[in-house]
Amino acid sequence: MASYIVMTLLFVFSASAEFVWKHHNNEELPLVLEEVHQKCPNITRVYALSEPSVCNVPLYVIEFSDSPGFHQPYKPEVKYVGNMHGNEVLGRELLLGLADYLCDQYLKQDRRIRALIHSTRIHLLPSMNPDGWQLSTDTGGQDYLIGRNNNHSVDLNRNFPDLDAITFEFERQGINHNNHLLKDLTRLAAPLEPETRAVMRWIMSIPFVLSAAIHGGDLVANYPYDESRSGAPVSEYSASPDDDTFRELATTYASAHADMASASRRGCHTTSSDDSATYNFGKQGGVTNGAAWYSLKGGMQDFNYLATNAFEVTLELGCDKYPAASELAKEWERNREALLAYLWKAHIGIKGIVNDDSGFIQNAIISVVNITGPVPRPIRHDVTTGAYGDYYRLLTPGHYEVTASHPGYFPVSRVVTVPHHQTSAHVLNFRLEVCIFLTIF
Ligand SMILES: [Zn+2]
């Protein structure tokens, strides 16, 4: 039904195929995606999430893949989410522009883009909060808060199940259960909003490896955890087990951005030349741990990491939440290489398939110990194999002992070296043998 409406609108408006940098409204957004799909039908698919916004606006996604609609083993899945806060609009336009760019460059035989699309499945959700966007736009787009929330006045980035509380409690009790924690949730702090529910289903149904949500209001790449362990509201570094990897992911974006990582730029929200009283993330490489900035519960970033195998960071792409349309092309130039560099990070670390004599093993556990230094350091966050027995384990360069296990099988461990500058994860497959217990009478 949704695609029928899009096709009809496309016909009625007979829109041109030339992408224009402007603020696309909620009717124009799917038209842009459909135009890209018409230009690149073999490598794209447009779809809507399982339910629309409160005001019934579908949440559209465009997918890039050489096999649209299908997961393929050894090909990591990545997503970008824009406009979660309705009045933070740059991500929405950047993702529309990125869709157009990926298609155009693919058609122009750009080797780097073709290699990316042939090795990666990419999903772009330009607007998670179209209702907030509408309110913000209708009221001039300049208020710091109006339009931030959805149409039920709920902040979507506080509406996800708080899995941090569960993992912190397991840590305190010394329980080594550190992934896919949604099943350990006993109650929700607040009802889930339709946009949250739709995105949660999406997150749980596709085996994403890497993700970023694009916000605005500062200029920094923010990584987990967003929630402090002590409950401190600000300034408490809250490291996840994958702190090294998350810092590398955030630094990749910041360093490839025009000036996110520049130590000489001014911080946002400064009123004088002395900005020492406010955060200037440029002086710390353009990155921050979430809770080291300020703590929040119910964020999407930590939910991705604690409910699935996906690693998500939060990108704040500018001091101005609603930049003028005339700024958008410039912002694209400032962000383009960073957006592409980040997508390539789906290919760091190791990947492989776990099977036995008869086929793939789903839900096998991949656990990792960093043995680079003199003291082995377990990374207490396992990933699991998907429907094809495949896994993706993002890691920074170094030496690791990797173990594949599953109830009913003997675990298998192997040592691997992860090199620098990967454009393809190191392949490490496992074959497990059934563990047969003999009963002696
Ligand atoms: Zn935001």
Spacing, Cα 236 to ligand 1 middle (Å): 20
Co-location of 172 and 34 in the same domain:
yes
- Same-domain pairing of 160 and 148: yes
Which among 307, 325, 347 is the end of a domain? 347
Q: How far is the CA of 385 from the centre of ligand 1 (A)?
A: 32
Round to whole Å and give the CA distance between 210 and 146. 30
Query: 134 lies in a domain?
Result: yes
- Dist. CA 216 → ligand 1 center (Å): 6
CA of 217 to the centre of ligand 1 (A): 7
Q: Is the dihedral of CA 372, 377, 378, 379 positive or negative?
A: negative
Query: Rounded to the nearest 5°, which phi and psi values hold at 243?
Result: -55, -40
Query: Residues 258-281: what's their mean pLDDT?
Result: 80
Q: Are residues 338 and 366 in the same domain?
A: no
* Distance from Cα 232 to the centre of ligand 1, integer Å: 20
SS (H, E, C) 6-36: HHHHHHHHCCCCCCCCCCCCCCHHHHHHHHH
Query: Is there a domain that residue 414 lies in?
Result: yes
Task: Give this prediction's pTM.
Answer: 0.95
Residues 367 and 263 in one domain: no
- The mean pLDDT value of the chain amounts to 94
Total structural domains in the chain? 2
Furthest CA-CA distance within the chain: 84
Are both 65 and 7 inside the same structural domain? yes
Shared domain for 71 and 184, answered yes or no, is yes
- Over residues 354-410, the pLDDT tens digits come to 999 999 999 999 999 999 999 999 999 999 999 999 999 999 999 999 999 999 999
- Any long-range contacts for 177-184 (C-beta under 8 Å, 24+ apart)? 178/241, 178/380, 178/381, 178/382, 179/306, 179/309, 179/381, 179/382, 179/383, 179/384, 180/307, 180/308, 180/384, 181/306, 181/307, 182/307
Res. 50: pLDDT tops 70? yes
Rounded to the nearest 10°, the torsion over CA 130, 133, 137, 141 is -170
- Residue 14: pLDDT over 60: no
* 216, 362: one domain: no
CB 46 within 8 A of CB 58: no
Ligand 1 centroid–CA 148 distance in Å is 7
Residues 70 and 124 in one domain: yes
Residue 439 inside a domain? The answer is no
Instruction: Note whether residue 343 is domain-resident.
Output: yes
Torsion sign, CA atoms 179, 184, 190, 193: positive
- Going by pLDDT thresholds of 50, 70 and 90, the confidence category of residue 440 is low
154 and 245 share a domain?
A: yes
Evaluate if residue 70 carries a pLDDT over 60: yes
Asked if the structure places residue 281 within a domain, the reply is yes
Question: What's the pLDDT score for residue 12?
Answer: 46
Query: Which residue reads 């009123």 in tokens?
Result: 271
Q: What kind and span of H or E run contains 45? A: strand 44-48
How far is the centre of ligand 1, averaged over its atoms, from the C-alpha of 84 (Å)? 7
144 and 268 belong to one structural domain: yes
- Residues 374 and 388 placed together within one structural domain of the fold: yes
How many whole angstroms separate alpha carbon 61 and alpha carbon 376?
A: 42
Neighbours of 49 (CB within 10 A): 21
Count of residues for the chain? Answer: 441
Among residues 2, 12, 10, the alpha carbon closest in space to that of 57 is found at: 2
- Look at the block and give the residue holding tokens 């913000």: 136
Average pLDDT over residues 134-147: 96
**Interval between CA 37 and ligand 1 midpoint (Å):** 29
Please indicate, yes or no, if residue 166 is contained in any of the structural domains: yes
The domain boundary residue, chosen from 309, 324, 347 = 347
The parent domain of residue 265 ranges over 2-347
Give the residue numbers annotated as catalytic, written as ranges: 316
List the CATH number of the domain containing 209: 3.40.630.10
Distance from the CA of 88 to the center of ligand 1, in angstroms? 6
Residue 370: enclosing H or E segment and its boundaries?
Answer: strand 365-370
Question: Of 293, 315, 347, which residue constitutes the final position of a domain?
Answer: 347
Q: Residue 4 has what pLDDT? A: 52
Task: Work out the pLDDT band at 1, boundaries 50, 70, 90.
Answer: very low
* Distance of CA 321 from the midpoint of ligand 1 (Å): 8
Q: pLDDT of 273-330, one tens digit each? A: 555 556 799 999 999 999 999 999 999 999 999 999 999 999 999 999 999 999 999 9
Is 440 domain-assigned? no
Residues 418, 290, single domain; the answer is no
